[in-house]
Amino acid sequence: MKMTLSEIVQAIGLDVSETQQRQYQNTVVTSICIDSRQARPGSLFVPLVDQRDGHDFVAQAQMAGAVATFWQTGHPGRPTNLQVIEVAEVLPALQKLAHYYLLKVNPKVVAITGSNGKTTTKDMIAAILAKQHNTAKTQANFNNEIGVPLTILGMETNTEVLVVEMGMDRPGQLQFLSDLVEPDVAVITMIGEAHIEFFGTRDKIADAKMEITHGLKEDGLLIINGDEPLLTTRAATFAPRTFGFKEENYLYPTAMTLTKNHSEFSVNRWPEVSFTVPMIGEFNVLNALAALLVGRHYHVSPDEMAQALAHFQPTENRTQWLTGDAGEEILSDVYNSNPTAVREVVESFIKVAAKGRHVAVLGDMLELGEQAEKLHANLASELDPRHIEEVYLYGDLIKSLDLRLRGVYPPEALHYYPLGQQAALIADLKNDLHYGDMVLLKGSNGMKLKKVVQALL
């Protein structure tokens, strides 16, 4: 990006004096940051107020090269040696600036949401569209009211398609984000139990996911998982393109071959083309189907889409195979978790042949509310000693699963660690795992199972 402070002031709707306008006109901003450690020459620093007050870090941002900062009206300690844009509230100013910049660059916008699979689907879509278009996408987990504006402001001025991931944890959130980006294409991957603590039922989750259509352009395209009745009934008025395993969908797989390192499939629309994704599981085939529909909409050829899927780079810790220090094979899927996601990955994991044992390490699934104990305990139906020989459980909520599995697993094959005993979990795993074993790690991001993965490496 490249904007003068004068343009930024106009973009967020501020009235300033002619003197300020002249000062602002001579200052050029080339990047936006909310973390002073990421500031560089030409940055505009945005001091958000959350658990820590970003205003306290303006000086550090300036030392790193920031040329200006937003500043909340009335906040003490306003700098006198740095260009300051005073705003009533910092976050809304950031969001207004993002919307302005989006309209200025004017890319096509593809927005993705869903209880599972949205990050992987986003990565697949971006890889496909990059075959023919200058494409930008959401980085890391920048998918909320802060992350989406930063995604927008981080794209280059020559961007032709912007692929935006959108998360939610409350009603109205997706509506706001959809209105912010005004998508040309909206994708809903599936409806699960993620964030059910805040919604109560899957029906209400489906209602909230449909909010992504609120800002959908009048001639926009909605793409949904057609195997999910909660979506098909709600989306009927949009005449959506559907994907799924059922043959009544617009796009469905006609054959699949699933291995440890990749999933190969063919589809009804292009029977002569074989598609491969470097990821495990039928659920990633579904993600790929959604991506193929977006690619088709933007006229990417089937052969080019196949090339893109075969070589795309998934975001870290999404069904990622690694090799542990003892030679064990690790399937790391520790970014997030909910009952649907656990069932899907366990089902795929046990289908991969191991020289040694199949070992599951499961952490708490967060944001399940009053149903948490029941939903954890119900995972017992997915864990069979004939297929997963050993189980490690970590967290307080997952205690209910431990109780359910007693009597199913012998005591020496079932291990439980309350929250705070991660060091003991790591030590026991290191002593237990051997060459040829396969170990699945799955849990909500807040359980920090990534540290367990790193320790095993």
Summarize the annotated binding site for ATP as residue ranges: 114-120
CA atoms of 327 and 170, how far apart (whole Å): 43
Q: Are 190 and 208 contacting, i.e. CB atoms less than 8 angstroms apart?
A: no
Q: Are strands 108-113 and 161-165 parallel, antiparallel or unpaired?
A: parallel
Q: Are 140 and 315 contacting, i.e. CB atoms less than 8 angstroms apart?
A: yes
Q: How many CA atoms lie within 13 A of 299 on its CB side?
A: 2
Annotated binding site: 114-120
For tokens 């961007």, what's the residue?
Answer: 159
CA atoms of 390 and 415, how far apart (whole Å): 8
State in Å, rounded, how far the first CA of the chain is from the last one: 39
Q: Are 310 and 276 contacting, i.e. CB atoms less than 8 angstroms apart?
A: yes
Question: Which of 144, 148, 64 lies closest to 102, judged by CA?
Answer: 148
The sheet carrying 329-333 orders its strands as 320-323, 329-333, 438-442, 358-363, 390-394, 414-417
Q: What is the DSSP string of 288-331?
A: HHHHHHHHHHTT--HHHHHHHHHH--PPTTSSEEEE-TTS-EEE
Handedness of CA 332, 318, 343, 438 (dihedral sign): negative
Q: What is the DSSP string of 237-274?
A: GG--EEESSSTTSSB-EEEEEE-SS-EEEEESS-TT--
The separation between CA 9 and the C-alpha centre of its own chain, rounded to angstroms, equals 32
